[in-house]
A and B are shown apart, each in its own frame.
Chain A
């Protein structure tokens, strides 16, 4: 199941905290993380790698980034 995490408008460390919380709760194996700064995109990607997850796709729409992350 894909879990969507809307971290738009939130600055670090909130997007990373939200992502880690989702990863640690059982059930979901795919995550769609929405952020709107490049720093958040980098931070969430870095956190994903540290959790042995893979950022499979990053879609840029306007001022937003949609990260697809697989556990």
Chain B
């Protein structure tokens, strides 16, 4: 049997470094500030492009997300690691996806973006990362007490391919209905004229970067939630080494590219409410831990045939709809009018899931 290089320590370091270089480059080429890659934000933008919410500033069919799933599929097929499977409490995962997104949008970013924000000098990200670790820590307590969503079942190859096909469909829609200069909509797809949704690297570059990262991350099992979880649960450094590399390399890349700007105030797509940066990400961290992966990892799992991960992803996309339609998402002006209530509801739901769903 050939040893999987990407699953070694060197492998995970190379992957962290690759993401750490590519994300700041994507920002340089047009993606929003400290948002070279943000899985939560980009799924939120996709939700907007599809019209699931109508926040005009965050509507764009992000090719990076499509690339993540398809790149992971390619890696899984190339290395005989494609395992169509499903049936481990899909609706629970959907609900966890909804609240993961709501928590992430109260903070304004997924764990990847929390790292990238810090690497760009945004000190508010420290609160977000602290919250993330706190949420994951609560998750590990449930795991130690037998929390378990049950086993998956093998399923049809076609069922495992459905998520990549959906992503391919999104790409085709984007090619049929591209952005028209100055128009907020092309037939069915929505686009932003200003705000983060209007900022993007060229489609082909975003797609290729997504494919490369998807491929590498599938092989290495890169996961930001797993990094902290394994550290807390097993004192194991493996995934954490990759996350740390991402942070350091992205920081250096930002310095080189002139994108580093240290402070709390006036950071791009961020607010300075420390408590809600912490609490939002704590909710997201708990939901990721209960679902078994950060938003990026869920995309890579969905690409290798995990139908439950695909359900989580769509939970997040629908969650973005709730977040913007109900005024839950934060903005640089602060938390949304109902953001605090949503975080509390999210905690009640996630804690109930953690406490009640234990192996007999």
- In the complex, are the beta carbons of A46 and B153 less than 8 A apart? no
Contacts A9-B153, A10-B151; A46 near B292 (Cβ below 8 A): no
- In the complex, are the beta carbons of B233 and A13 less than 8 A apart? yes
**How distant is the Cα of A14 from the Cα of B88 in the complex, in angstroms?**
13
Contacts A42-B4, A42-B221; A9 near B226 (Cβ below 8 A): no
- In the complex, are the beta carbons of A36 and B234 less than 8 A apart? no
List B contacts of A39 (CB < 8 A): 221
Q: Is B331 interfacial (CB 8 A cutoff)?
A: no
Name the distance in Å between B78's Cβ and chain A's nearest Cβ.
13
List A contacts of B154 (CB < 8 A): 36, 63
Chain A, 8-38, CB within 8 A of any chain B CB: 8-14, 16-17, 20, 36-38
Q: Is A50 interfacial (CB 8 A cutoff)?
A: yes
Q: Is A58 interfacial (CB 8 A cutoff)?
A: yes
- In the complex, are the beta carbons of B148 and A10 less than 8 A apart? yes
Name the distance in Å between B35's Cβ and chain A's nearest Cβ.
28
Q: Which residue of A lies closest to B223 (CB)?
A: A12
Q: Is A70 interfacial (CB 8 A cutoff)?
A: no
**How distant is the Cα of A37 from the Cα of B301 in the complex, in angstroms?**
11
- In the complex, are the beta carbons of B1 and A58 less than 8 A apart? yes
Q: How many A-B residue pairs have CB under 8 A?
A: 54
- In the complex, are the beta carbons of B236 and A9 less than 8 A apart? no
Task: Digitize B216-237: 1 where CB-to-A-CB distance is under 8 Å, 0 elsewhere.
Answer: 0000010000100110011010
- In the complex, are the beta carbons of B292 and A11 less than 8 A apart? yes
**How distant is the Cα of A43 from the Cα of B220 in the complex, in angstroms?**
11
Q: Is B117 interfacial (CB 8 A cutoff)?
A: no
Q: Which of B143, B153, B226, B236 contacts A50 (CB 8 A)?
A: B236
Chain B interface size band reads: 20 to 34
**How distant is the Cα of A60 from the Cα of B277 in the complex, in angstroms?**
46
Name the distance in Å between B138's Cβ and chain A's nearest Cβ.
15
Chain A, 42-65, CB within 8 A of any chain B CB: 42-43, 46-47, 50, 58, 60, 63
Name the distance in Å between B215's Cβ and chain A's nearest Cβ.
15
List A contacts of B88 (CB < 8 A): 9, 11
- In the complex, are the beta carbons of B152 and A13 less than 8 A apart? no
Name the distance in Å between B63's Cβ and chain A's nearest Cβ.
26
Name the distance in Å between A66's Cβ and chain B's nearest Cβ.
13
List A contacts of B143 (CB < 8 A): 13, 17
Q: Which of A13, A38, A46 contacts B238 (CB 8 A)?
A: A46
- In the complex, are the beta carbons of A12 and B236 less than 8 A apart? no
Contacts A38-B4, A58-B1; A47 near B234 (Cβ below 8 A): yes
**How distant is the Cα of A37 from the Cα of B234 in the complex, in angstroms?**
20
**How distant is the Cα of A51 from the Cα of B328 in the complex, in angstroms?**
45
Contacts A20-B234, A36-B83, A63-B83; A9 near B4 (Cβ below 8 A): no
B-to-A contact residues, CB < 8 Å: 1, 4, 7, 79, 81, 83, 85, 88, 143-144, 148, 150-154, 221, 226, 229-230, 233-234, 236, 238, 292, 301, 306
